[in-house]
Amino acid sequence: MFTDRRIERHQLPCFLQVFNRLTDKPIGYLGNVSEDGLMLISQLPMMIDVDFELRLKIPGPEGDVHAVDLTATCLWSHEDINPQHYDSGFRVFQAPAEYGRLINALVNYFSFDPLQASA
């Protein structure tokens, strides 16, 4: 099993819900993100080597919601440390520019910058 990480991932202490883009039904929560992939936390295991049409609904400052649509392939899926939950790793294809901006926004929001804290 491949465990070497080549791309830095950013863990999310709070989760954003992930939806099936075609049905608009929730399928899980965003566990972490990288520029090429994401980890989904769900109540059911995901099928491996299958392409999924995903939608992230990002809340805006005035209550509006912005959708970020992704096509991603599930590379692995296994039981989470928490009972009745599964972690699944996805490689993102056809990611729009909004996905990159989302990653940057999440990193900035959840990161601790010691220079800003000392000012």
Distance CA 61, CA 53 (A): 26
Q: What are phi and psi of 81, to 5 degrees?
A: -65, -30
The model's pTM is 0.77
Helices (H), 12-117: 97-110, 114-117
| More reliable by pLDDT, 62 or 10 | 62
If pLDDT is split at 50, 70 and 90, which confidence band does 92 have?
Answer: very high
The predicted pLDDT at position 13 comes to 44
| More reliable by pLDDT, 111 or 99 | 99
Would you mind telling me the total number of residues written for the chain in this entry? Answer: 119
In a domain, 21, yes or no: yes
In a domain, 48, yes or no: yes
The residue written with tokens 């950013």 in the block is 10
In a domain, 117, yes or no: no
In a domain, 116, yes or no: no
In a domain, 118, yes or no: no
Q: What are phi and psi of 3, to 5 degrees?
A: -125, -5
pLDDT exceeds 80 at position 38: yes
In a domain, 1, yes or no: no
In a domain, 57, yes or no: yes
CATH classification at residue 21: 2.40.10.220
In a domain, 2, yes or no: no
Domain total for the chain? Answer: 1
Distance CA 37, CA 72 (A): 8
3 state DSSP class of 48: coil
